[in-house]
Structure 1
């Protein structure tokens, strides 16, 4: 929801409240860091469903009823570019962005780049021609996405880099992220607290070099 709140603030002419900054190789980008939450059986509903990250309808045995929201008059338009539709996480984000922004009175269009930086740029250019005022981008490649951010900036559109940092450009207004170091610390602590026996190797897997997380 931090990316949604940041987009709404910009559309309303306000400055989102940043909690820090990240240097992207060109500037210090104001950052909005989401809190790190450890999810277990005792808080899974509050953390994943009540928060809006998942829909109750995605689960069995839960009350999925919800009253429809009257979005009313459209107050502005937000464009969102997500990296792929092949991973459940981004499909879930698509649903949450759509639901929350429409409920807040904004028009929203969401496009997927399918792991292709050229398509990502084309998506941003398409959204610009459709009159969006703010674009939220989760870049496939943080460095390659600079071209998309600069195209938006040239058109007077503010850019929010979401989850992954767009690098080597001054065209990013805000970066919505999480404290990845805190996440790693919590994951490691869980292993320390729950690992049993001896001789069980632990493997560290890293993501793509193009992802600053």
Structure 2
């Protein structure tokens, strides 16, 4: 949802920083909402990035784009229109100086106060910051907590929660040159809403089976 409302409509180049299990669903989501033609993969262990490239080709045989396994995270970011960070890092995974106008970042890996995928420069350079919930990120988003602690940024500068973009209460991307950032720490109610949606679809289509507990 964040990418749908915040990334440029013509965004076609995707950087994936961290190629573990979390990145699989993220890539599938990007392919669903943007015309991705190139992917730039970076992982601290290069072999895992190469394995992830093979996974993408096997899992998405209909996708005919190009995959690049990168040696440097900053270079992957420079090449991309959309950046996914899906690591459990406690130190920034790329430099904010690598950002150029027009990029969108999904930071979904870190979810505890001591974790930090993004540096303070990235937070400050973002023109628009959207979160899953303001209350959640105040307690769990290490990047935002540490940025506020420097005195150079404040939680008051958060532009919206992602739900407000969906309902139209708040606006998404305003122009092509904006740097947009979505920070997510995870919300159980969101998971429940998706599960209920899947359940209703299954009932409507006569799929699945009833199990007595």
TM-score, length basis structure 1: 0.34
TM-score, length basis structure 2: 0.34
The structure that is helix-richer by fraction is 2
The structure with the larger Rg is 1
